[in-house]
Amino acid sequence: MAADDYSRRREWERLERTEREARQIDLLNGLLAAIVPSNPLYSAKFRAHAPRLRTIEELGALPFTTKDELLAADGFASNRTFPLERYVRFHRTSGTRGKPLAVVDTADDWSWWIQGWQFVLDAAGAEPGDRAVLAFSFGPFIGFWSAYDACAARGMMVVPTGGMDTESRLALIRDLRPACVLCTPSYALRMAEVAAARSVPLAESAVRRIIVAGEPGGSLPGVRRRIESVWGAEVIDHAGATEVGPWGYADAARRGLHVNESRFIAEFIEPGGERAAGGGEPAELVLTTLGRTGCPVIRYRTGDLVRPEYPTGGPNRFVLLQGGVLGRVDDMMIVRGVNLFPSSVESILREVPEIEEYRITAFRVREMDELRIEVEDRSDEPDRIARLLRLRLGLRIEVVAVPLGALPRFEGKGRRFVDARPRDPAPKRSGGP
């Protein structure tokens, strides 16, 4: 990418919050004026009149957008501003939390995606001429395609591996000697598992950086250390969503994720509620796009649980999410009085090198949430894992050893958390200003 683009990215990061918010409001007002006349979803929400905001605080008076609202009868996202003929990109959500959602982008919107991705590649120290292996399957998953085009735009050699099995990918990494691998945290660990079984010295490869996304893993210390120890490479976390865009990238100290405030406005509300969250407390992340005119989202409830802090100095003053995405709001459990998220358990399990794979199941006994953990443990000593969890979490949790290879492996998003609790009726949320 051009040097002036890099300078503009760094300029945005260094802005004082008041100046950054002034720029954000200008961008948002321009977006609202462009979309409200012809975007059915937001024309209805704003009664065909584009609001003009003076401050970020006024954004809180606008209605939220939820994923359920984006699901249209034809399967496409309902927040399309233009006729379908204007769109050149088709992608779809995984459907792991409901019906898959088809999201489309215009050529201009796709350029907006690729520009946002450059912040991720900056954090990874990616350089023109570097080789990058993308360990994903081909398909409608947007993360593969946006990463592919972003790396190509930077001048990197992009190596797709769709259709290859894990052994073939490892052989390609050995022979091609890429500087960078892009995959999910689960698949980084899966490749490490296969490499160990085949006596492949993964830490001796040329890979220096592993860019991960798709799961709350790259910012969890236990998961990050596990990947870095077996690969001998640095893990760079990244966050995005098909219906939103590439919104987060790793901070320099690897403490969590910065929200890219040059392309998004971030708000933080009480988990499952509607009021602004208190400082220092876990909160639900709400995002507004500052661009993506063809499929914008205004005050979109991501369902991601985060803990924000606001840097006042240093080279990057974008809001920082400590520990990245902590989990999903819907996944929160109260186990014998302790608030708990699957990611908290995962981080501890990944500190035990003998654990090859695991599965966490939440269930309910009368009115109480409980957990059961299955582990593939090379030491076959589940009691020591239960003791570690009790020491770190203050909870007795049932841990059961299962045979090696018994649990599923994942190339895309890992599905290690099984929620077998009965579903409570969803609370009603306000849809008006």
Q: Which string of DSSP letters, residue by residue, matches 330-388? A: GG-EEETTEEE-HHHHHHHHTT-TTEEEEEEEEEEETTEEEEEEEEEETT--HHHHHHH
Sign of the dihedral through C-alpha 10, 13, 15, 20: positive
Mean pLDDT per 10-residue interval, the chain, length 433 residues: 84 97 97 96 94 96 94 90 96 73 96 97 97 91 93 97 93 96 91 93 95 84 89 96 96 94 97 86 94 97 93 95 87 76 85 91 83 93 93 90 90 79 55 38
Determine the pLDDT at residue 426: 46
Q: Where are the alpha helices (DSSP H) in 99-209?
A: 107-123, 142-154, 166-176, 185-197
Q: Do the first three CATH levels of 1-329 and 332-419 match, i.e. the same topology?
A: no
Residue ranges of domains in the chain: 1-329, 332-419
Determine the pLDDT at residue 164: 93
Query: In this structure, are strands 102-105 and 131-134 parallel, antiparallel, or unpaired?
Result: unpaired
Q: Has domain 332-419 been given CATH number 3.30.365.10?
A: no
CA 182 to chain centre: 14
Q: What is the spatial distance between Cα 135 and Cα 369, in angstroms, rounded to a whole number?
A: 37
> Is the separation of the CB atoms in 115 and 166 below 8 Å?
no
| Beta carbons within 10 angstroms of residue 265's beta carbon | 22
CA dist 272 to 165, 177, 280, 282, 427, Å?
40, 46, 17, 11, 8
Q: What is the spatial distance between Cα 255 and Cα 258, in angstroms, rounded to a whole number?
A: 10
Q: Which CATH number fits domain 1-329: 3.40.50.1000, 3.65.10.10, 3.40.50.12780, 1.10.730.10?
A: 3.40.50.12780
Amino acid of residue 393: L
Q: Which of 56, 54, 50, 77 is nearest to 66 (CA)?
A: 77
Q: What is the spatial distance between Cα 343 and Cα 55, in angstroms, rounded to a whole number?
A: 35
Determine the pLDDT at residue 278: 82
Instruction: Kindly provide the b/e burial profile for residues 243-258, where b requires at least 16 CB atoms within 10 angstroms of the residue's own CB.
Output: bbbbbbbbbeebbbbb
Residues 6+ apart with CB under 8 A from 239: 213, 246, 247, 248, 249, 257, 304, 324, 325
Determine the pLDDT at residue 421: 82
Query: In this structure, are strands 180-183 and 245-250 parallel, antiparallel, or unpaired?
Result: unpaired
End-to-end CA distance of the chain: 41
| Beta carbons within 10 angstroms of residue 22's beta carbon | 14
Phi, psi of 139 (to 5 degrees): 155, -170
**Structure tokens belonging to residue 227:** 């990947």
